[in-house]
Amino acid sequence: MTATPLAPHENLQGRHFLDLGEFQQAELRALVRLARELKSEGAASASALLRGRTLALLFEKPSLRTRVSFEVAVSSLGGQALFATGSEMLVGTRETPEDAARVLSRYVDAVVVRTHEHEPLERFAAAAGVPVINGLSALYHPCQAFADVLTMEERFGSLEGLRVVYLGDARNNVATSLAQAVVMLGGSMRFASPLSHRPSEATLERLAKLGASSGGRVRAFTDPVRALRGADVVYTDVWTSMGEEHLHERNAAMLLPYAVTERSFTYTAPHAVFMHCLPAHRGQEVAAAVIDGTRSLVFDQAENRLHAQRALLVALITDGKGTSL
């Protein structure tokens, strides 16, 4: 295959992937470019890039997309995956995150971790001698955001000036990572939520800084109609994230005005698309007519998890030089 080598400042070998906000715009752009190249080349030509490499997946919470797309990604590149959950999921239960990280680093080439809290993941990564990938924590879901901007770039050509509106729980992991990726690539990120679910001022300030050099912008609204005006992308996620089930009834009542329905699209640009990280709840955060309609990109997003994570594994585990490895 002919994947373009990452330039020196874009070389991500050995890095952790916990929070997109720790990356440079050029690095995110390089990852998206590599994902597009690997996707267009097809699976066969990259089939030896991770030969002999092992990826461990430690999941404290359920997963369909993240688990399966990482397992398929590593095997399609010639490597293998090991999955652990429940009582075998070692991050901070049976032993400290640091000890688990030091041990696993002697066996495997990279680790994907899905945790409730973000802090044990940070501790695990700080002690690990191999790249650690955030497979979703309470704060961030960077793998999802990477696949989402790949999907937007495929649809619109570029994120520069693209208006992305996120409705619902605008404080959650998916919303935060999505906003980071959008502003880093020059897009305009709008949140629509009640004050209770609005991103913190610190988050909004950090997003504004992240977007400063690319022209990316961020605004938070309480009125969903004002937020939706001129939207190119309408994005939502579950109203209640994993681990917060005790808040479900409160969230459902407060977020109802932010549900995405066919009416939402009467305020957007005519070409606007719908995105959702999945799993989705039809009749709650999104109407069935929207998610199952012609505007919906949700299964392209889900597919792009695979392509994005193939690129991520190549970039973090190898020197990114394609077949010259």
The residue ranges that bind ligand NVA (CB under 6 A) are 136, 172-174, 237-238, 241-242, 277
Residue 66 in contact with ligand CP, rule: CB under 6 A: yes
SS (H, E, C) the chain: CCCCCCCHHHCCCCCCECCHHHCCHHHHHHHHHHHHHHHHHCCHHHCCCCCCCEEEEEECCCCCHHHHHHHHHHHHCCCEEEEEEHHHCCECCCECHHHHHHHHHCCCCEEEEECCCCHHHHHHHHHCCCCEEECCCCCCCHHHHHHHHHHHHHHHCCCCCCEEEEECCCCCHHHHHHHHHHHHCCCEEEEECCHHHCCCHHHHHHHHHHHCCCCCEEEEECCHHHHHCCCCEEEECCCCCCCCHHHHHHHHHHHHHHCECHHHHHCCCCCCEEEECCCCCECCCECHHHHCCCCECHHHHHHHHHHHHHHHHHHHHCCCCHHHC
Which listed residue (36, 277, 307, 309) is catalytic?
A: 277
143 catalytically annotated? no
Residue 23 or 140: the one with the smaller Cβ distance to ligand CP is 140
Site string for ligand CP, 255-284 (x = CB under 6 A): ----------------------xx------
Write the binding mask 119 to 148 for ligand CP: x where contact by CB under 6 A, - elsewhere. Answer: -----------------x-------x----
Which option in ligand NVA, ligand CP, none does residue 238 bind, with CB closer than 5 to 8 A by kind? ligand NVA
Please choose, out of 14-22, 60-68, 88-96, 263-271, the segment that lies near ligand CP by the rule CB under 6 A: 60-68
76 touching ligand CP, by CB under 6 A: no
Give, in degrees to the nearest 5, the angle at Cα 171 between 167 and 172: 90
Q: Phi and psi at residue 39, in whole multiples of 5°?
A: -65, -45
**Distance of closest approach, residue 77 Cβ to ligand CP, in angstroms:** 19
For the question of residue 114 being annotated catalytic, the response is yes
Q: Is 251 in the site for ligand CP (CB under 6 A)?
A: no
144 is catalytic: yes
Give the residue among 313, 276, 319 at the shortest CA–CA distance from 72: 313
Nearer Cβ to ligand NVA (105/241): 241
Which of ligand NVA, ligand CP, none does residue 241 bind (CB under 5 to 8 Å by kind)?
A: ligand NVA
172 binds, among ligand CP, ligand NVA, none (CB under 5 to 8 A by kind): ligand NVA
Q: Reading across the β-sheet that carries 80-85, which strands appear in turn?
A: 80-85, 54-59, 110-114, 132-134
Pick the catalytic residue from 67, 206, 237, 310: 237
**Minimum CB–partner distance for residue 63 and ligand CP (Å):** 3
Choice from 16, 29, 65, 206 touching ligand CP (CB under 6 A): 65
| 169 assigned to active site | no
Q: Judge whether 305 counts as a catalytic residue.
A: yes
190 counts as catalytic: no
Q: 174 vs 308, which CB is nearer to ligand NVA?
A: 174
Instruction: Give the residues lining the site for ligand CP (CB under 6 A).
Output: 63-66, 136, 144, 277-278
Residues labelled catalytic: 114, 141, 144, 237, 277, 305
